[in-house]
Amino acid sequence: MILTGRREIILQLRDEKPGIGWPGHWSLLGGGQEPGEAPIDTILREIKEEAGITPDTIGEAEVTPYDPLKAPPHVFLGTWDGEESELVLGEGQALRLAPLAELPEKMPPHIRHYILQLTEAGS
């Protein structure tokens, strides 16, 4: 989860490919861990591959799991004060900076859960 000082969040519109989770929905940057890769290295690599940027700051955030029967995922919270025009689409259909107050409707519920959990605490 990468936020700007203007209270915007980087969102990625997922592809419409068969077999992927939540096709055509707005989501956060991220992805799978490669063998031997630390979670922080995974997210930094994924952000670079998917959006062409390096966050100004980033750290793992503690979250309450969306599904209480599962362990919480690795969620990272970072900052970046660039402009939308600097984002380079490397995966998905689109990238955008969305105001936190105007999150798109078409978003997986677990993604919305983590965004609201981490941003309402700091509002």
| pLDDT for position 116 | 96
Q: How far is the C-alpha of 29 from the C-alpha of 11, rounded, in Å?
A: 7
Q: What is the DSSP string of 25-55?
A: -EE-S--PPPTT--HHHHHHHHHHHHHS---
pLDDT of residue 120: 82
pLDDT at 122 > cutoff 80: no
Q: Which amino acid is at 119?
A: T
The correct answer on CATH 3.90.79.10 for the domain covering 2-120 is yes
CA 2/CA 14 separation, integer angstroms:
17
- What single letter denotes the amino acid at residue 68? P
How far is it, in rounded angstroms, from Cα 38 to Cα 36? 7
> What is the pLDDT averaged over residues 66-71?
95
φ, ψ of residue 90 in degrees (nearest 5) = -110, -15
pTM for the model: 0.94
Listed residue (105, 82, 85) closest to 95, CA to CA: 85
In which residue are the tokens 């900076």 written? 97
pLDDT, average across residues 90-116: 97
- Three-state DSSP class for 113? helix
Predicted pLDDT at 121: 52
